Amino acid sequence: MATETPVDDEVDRGPFERWVRRVIRNPERAYRAMFYTAMIVFLFTTLFPFYWLLVLALTPFNRLANVGLFPNGFNPEAFVRIFEILPFHIYMLNSFILAAMTTVFVLVIASLAGYVFGRLQFPGRGPLMLAVLAISYFPPAAFLLPLFRLFNGNVTIGLFGASISSPNLFNTPWAMVLPFSALFMPLSIFILTTFYGQIPDGLEDAARIEGTTRLGALFRVIVPLSAPGVATAGVLTFIMVYNEFFFSFLMNDGQIPEMLYESGKLLYLSNENHWAPLLKGILGFQGQYTQLYNLMAAASIVGVLPVAVLVVVAQEKIVSGLTQGALKE
């Protein structure tokens, strides 16, 4: 119908107006355009901060003032300096170990709970699940004070007339792994409950007939068959622990072991069992080397890399795990 008139119009109008006319006639184009615009805007806003960190990290220290959107020079040395000024790699390694410990701990305990909630019928199942759910929403600040006292040996329990002080765990991995586990276990429990619940009963029965115990059937048949679910729970727990702030910040004094070696012999060791994580490394730059912005940027980039790799590798698991944990339960 409208095909006759526009031919003339298009001759004497600009390309934008021509585009607008075409869009009005064919709204699909408009949606397409909106879609691409939105996509580009989102990509830009999420990725630009990383780019800017890189700019900052590569700019030499003496040219940092008023750095623009491009690096003032090229100075990859910052990525080496961060390991020299502070042993940043030790902080990262600590974070890795803490995250790995928590992940293993959470997976084992959450497997038991997931098996119970997913496969067994018993009175009290609903209320117990609600208790787990509720606790995962409380702010860590509400737990801080008693835990701090507990981990500093300030809680005593009277037992058979003798009073036992709680062990001094401050700075050790346990002062962080235990709170991390409590904080992130509920999500894993819910993910594993869903996965374990889907394994057919026949397989568990078959395993038990073949000679496993009930627990044996769980770890030999149900867990291996739920490998994707276990991987999802594991990846999420690892990332969340690595990213955690509150207890990582408060349950250690920021120190790491100091060692002095001479010709292979350990001369001096202090702060053993001090397990400050990545967070304290980053904040160390901010606190002690207040002007070395390029190093802060470089450390941030290095600190993000492991989780960025995990996201690229395991994005499907992360997506399914997060949506399941939040929506389904």
Distance, CA of 202 to CA of 89 (rounded, Å):
49
Site string for other proteins, 244-283 (x = CB under 8 A): xxx-xxx---------------------------xx--xx
**Which residue intervals of the chain are DSSP H helices?**
6-11, 15-25, 27-58, 78-85, 88-119, 125-135, 141-151, 173-197, 201-210, 214-217, 223-225, 227-243, 246-250, 278-288, 293-313, 315-323
Query: Are the CB atoms for 243 and 307 separated by under 8 Å?
Result: yes
Binding part of the chain for other proteins, among 7-15, 75-83, 253-261, 314-322 by CB under 8 A, reads 314-322
With contact defined as beta carbons under 8 Å apart, do 211 and 204 qualify?
no
Which of residues 23, 93, 100, 307 is near other proteins by CB under 8 A? 307
Could you say which of 125, 228, 261, 273 contacts other proteins (CB under 8 A)? 125
Which stretch, 79-87, 137-145, 257-265, 266-274, contacts other proteins (CB under 8 A)? 137-145
Cα Dmax for the chain: 102
Encoded one letter per residue, x for contact with other proteins by CB under 8 A and - for no contact, window 69-88 reads: x-------------------
Under the criterion CB under 8 A, does residue 242 sit at the interface with other proteins? Answer: yes
Task: Give the list of residues 6+ apart from residue 44 with CB closer than 8 angstroms, or none.
Answer: none
**Residues forming beta bridges with residue 261, ordered by sequence position:** 266
CB within 8 Å of 289: residues ≥ 6 apart: 85, 295, 296
Residue in 110, 169, 176, 276 binding other proteins, rule: CB under 8 A: 110
Among 19, 77, 208, 231, binds other proteins (CB under 8 A): 208
Considering only residues 12 to 41 of the shown chain, the ones binding other proteins according to CB under 8 A are 27-28, 31, 35, 38-39
Q: Distance between CA atoms of 200 and 285, rounded to whole angstroms?
A: 53
What the block records as the tokens of 287 is 């606190």
Q: Please pick, from the candidates 86, 98, 129, 276, the single residue that binds other proteins as defined by CB under 8 A.
A: 129
What single-letter amino acid sits at 85? I
Distance, CA of 310 to CA of 30 (rounded, Å): 36
| Smallest separation (angstroms) from other proteins to the CB of 192 | 11
Output 89 or 149, the one with its CB closest to other proteins: 149
CB of 8 to other proteins, least distance (A): 28
Considering only residues 6, 140, 167, 257, which one is a binding residue for other proteins as defined by CB under 8 A? 140
CB of 275 to other proteins, least distance (A): 16
Residue 270, classified by CB atoms within 10 Å of its CB into exposed (0-12), middle (13-18) or buried (19+), is exposed
In the complex, the smallest distance separating the C-beta of residue 212 from other proteins, rounded to whole angstroms, is: 6
Query: For other proteins, which is the closer residue by CB, 170 or 242?
Result: 242
CA atoms within 13 A on the CB side of 327: 6
Considering only residues 214 to 233 of the shown chain, the ones binding other proteins according to CB under 8 A are: 214-216, 221, 224-225, 227
Query: Judged by CB under 8 A, which of 83, 100, 101, 329 binds other proteins?
Result: 329
Q: How many residues bind other proteins (CB under 8 A)?
A: 121
Quickly tell me which residue has 């492991």 as its tokens. Answer: 306
Nearer to other proteins, 121 or 263 (CB): 121
